[in-house]
């Protein structure tokens, strides 16, 4: 991964995870009520989308999807004035992402294949396309990755709704973040173990003797 991509990934992590938690708990420490603190914490991901647009002067479909989902969920939360409804809105996004990943397999080109091409070094996207089209080992690995990651996000959405309506409001943001991290680690662990055992990772690295069927 190039330096620019590493910087972008670190910035995305800060805007989507670290800063929202810091804003929420900082606001609560300052005496702001739960509902307003949660509302303020939602602004960081939107700031990240704005930063991306300012650099490239365009919004890709993923960014438009995120904005639309957040806007709809915020409208519901504003109308209800309920802190728990605002907490539950997180499940809309992660659930939709999970279903998007799973559903993309029906199109013949998994969403994760495009993501991998965008975050990998120059030239790897074309190699991924060739392997996807002509190598069964790589093909099965991408399908497994899509199932693992898609299921992780869908499960996270369910867990977030349960957390939102059963845990104390102040504990939900941190608990939801921990839950998502655990699920992502588990999903990626499954993907990497299978990738090594099947030879899919060796194919990506162009090692000799990697299986091709």
In this prediction, residue 208 carries a pLDDT of 38
- Residue 50: other Cβ atoms inside 10 A: 15
Rounded to 10°, the helix 136-166/111-119 angle is: 100
Residue 186 and residue 155 in contact, taking contact as beta carbons nearer than 8 Å: no
Confidence of residue 210 (pLDDT cuts 50, 70, 90): very low
Rounded to 10°, the helix 172-198/136-166 angle is: 170
- Residues with Cβ < 8 Å from 88, sequence gap 6 or more? 160, 161, 164, 165
Residues 82-109 pLDDT 10s: 778 777 877 877 888 899 899 998 888 8
**84-93 burial, b for 16+ CB within 10 Å, e for fewer?**
bbbbbbbbbb
**Widest pairwise Cα distance in the chain:** 62
Confidence of residue 209 (pLDDT cuts 50, 70, 90): very low
Which H helix or E strand runs over 51? helix 43-56
Is the Cα torsion angle 25, 152, 150, 134 positive or negative in sign? Answer: positive
Is the Cα torsion angle 76, 80, 86, 88 positive or negative in sign? Answer: negative
In this prediction, residue 132 carries a pLDDT of 92
């Amino acid at each position: 991964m190039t330096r620019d991509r590493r910087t972008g990934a670190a910035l995305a992590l800060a805007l989507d995870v670290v800063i929202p938690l810091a804003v929420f708990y900082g606001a609560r420490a300052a005496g702001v009520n739960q509902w307003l603190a949660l509302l303020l914490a939602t602004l960081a991901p939107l700031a990240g989308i704005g930063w991306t647009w300012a650099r490239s002067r365009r919004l890709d479909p993923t960014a438009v999807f995120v904005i639309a989902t957040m806007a709809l969920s915020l409208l519901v939360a504003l109308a209800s004035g309920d802190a728990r409804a605002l907490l539950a809105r997180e499940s809309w996004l992660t659930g939709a992402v999970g279903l998007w990943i799973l559903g993309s397999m029906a199109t013949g080109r998994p969403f994760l294949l495009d993501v991998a091409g965008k975050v990998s070094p120059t030239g790897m996207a074309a190699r991924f396309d060739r392997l996807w089209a002509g190598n069964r080992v790589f093909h099965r690995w991408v399908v497994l990755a899509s199932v693992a990651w898609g299921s992780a996000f869908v499960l996270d959405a369910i867990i977030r709704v349960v957390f939102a309506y059963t845990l104390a409001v102040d504990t939900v943001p941190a608990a939801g973040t921990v839950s998502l991290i655990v699920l992502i680690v588990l999903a990626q662990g499954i993907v990497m173990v299978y990738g090594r055992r099947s030879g899919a990772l060796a194919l990506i690295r162009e090692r000799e003797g990697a299986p091709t069927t």
